[in-house]
């Protein structure tokens, strides 16, 4: 059905979804996030091409090992998920070459890992995941994660971080400067970059409005 969350490959998604972690309470990396990434994948793949079945598998499994944002293992999260994804797809009978392609896409999707995507599918997944950190959804996820980590909205005494490095582990709004506003410049596909610039403008507009409302000229 066209309205299925993982159309047009809902049957494959139904096979893979039970493999996702059930104990995680991270609402920024939940099933809704996976579906949004898939929506981004489909939009980019329609322009750029790529193996849609491989993309679906990599999308569903890209966070199949849950690692909290403040965990010392955070930079290894995508590698751990890639290893788990490879085992899952091997058990499903996928050929080893396709398993390796899907695992590569999973491993390289992460901003924290800093591993360059080499295949078209890996580039599409990386772009699609990063799009979810931009725009209105990116704003919502930023403050959601900051709340879970116990961060403040901003530094009341120094809201512009004048004279010091930005501290996004303490102040949510400073995550815009340490990561979010840098994302749009690193997209891998032409279609992804176009979508990123639109969402980047929304982020920048929100930041301007936020600073105005807290009294920063």
pLDDT digits (tens, 9 = 90+) for 27-69: 777 889 999 999 999 999 999 999 999 999 999 999 888 776 6
- Residue 1: is its pLDDT beyond 60? no
Contacts of 201 (CB under 8 A, 6+ apart): none
Instruction: Please return the burial class of 135, using the count of CB atoms within 10 Å of its CB with bins 0-12, 13-18 and 19+.
Output: buried
On whether residue 126 sits in a domain, the answer given is: no
On whether residue 124 sits in a domain, the answer given is: no
pLDDT digits (tens, 9 = 90+) for 196-217: 999 999 999 999 999 999 999 6
Residue where a domain stops, chosen among 69, 91, 119 = 119
Neighbours of 123 (CB within 10 A): 22
pLDDT on residue 4: 86
- Residue 132: is its pLDDT beyond 90? yes
> What sign has the CA pseudo-torsion 116, 122, 127, 129?
negative
2, 106: one domain: yes
pLDDT on residue 71: 64
Tokens of 61: 């499994």
pLDDT digits (tens, 9 = 90+) for 180-189: 999 999 899 9
pLDDT digits (tens, 9 = 90+) for 60-113: 999 888 776 666 666 688 899 999 999 999 999 999 999 999 999 999 998 777
On whether residue 137 sits in a domain, the answer given is: yes
- Residue 12: is its pLDDT beyond 90? yes
Q: What is the SS3 assignment for 135?
A: helix
pLDDT on residue 65: 87
Range of the domain at 94: 1-119
On whether residue 203 sits in a domain, the answer given is: yes
pLDDT on residue 73: 63
Are 28 and 144 in contact by the 8 Å Cβ rule? The answer is yes
80, 168: one domain: no
Are 188 and 169 in contact by the 8 Å Cβ rule? The answer is no
At which residue do the structure tokens 């919502």 appear?
140
Residue 36: CATH number of its domain: 1.10.3210.50
Whether the link from the prior residue into 8 is cis, omega within 30° of 0, is yes
């Amino acid at each position: 059905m066209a309205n299925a969350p993982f159309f047009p490959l809902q049957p494959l998604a139904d096979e893979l979804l039970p493999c996702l972690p059930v104990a995680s309470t991270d609402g920024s990396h939940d099933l809704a996030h996976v579906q949004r990434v898939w929506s981004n994948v489909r939009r980019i793949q329609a322009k750029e091409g790529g193996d849609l079945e491989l993309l679906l598998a990599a999308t569903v499994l890209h966070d199949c090992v849950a690692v909290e944002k403040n965990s010392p293992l955070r930079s290894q999260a995508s590698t751990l998920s890639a290893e788990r994804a490879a085992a899952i797809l091997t058990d499903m009978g996928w050929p080893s070459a396709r398993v390796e392609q899907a695992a590569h896409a999973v491993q390289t999707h992460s901003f924290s890992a800093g591993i360059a995507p080499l295949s078209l599918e890996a580039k599409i997944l990386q772009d699609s995941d990063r799009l979810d950190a931009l725009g209105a959804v990116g704003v919502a996820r930023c403050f959601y994660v900051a709340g879970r980590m116990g961060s403040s909205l901003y530094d009341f005494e120094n809201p512009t971080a004048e004279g010091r490095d930005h501290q996004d582990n303490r102040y949510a709004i400073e995550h815009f400067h340490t990561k979010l506003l840098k994302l749009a410049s690193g997209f891998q596909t032409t279609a992804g970059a176009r979508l990123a610039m639109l969402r980047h403008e929304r982020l920048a507009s929100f930041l301007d409005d936020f600073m105005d409302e807290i009294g920063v000229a």
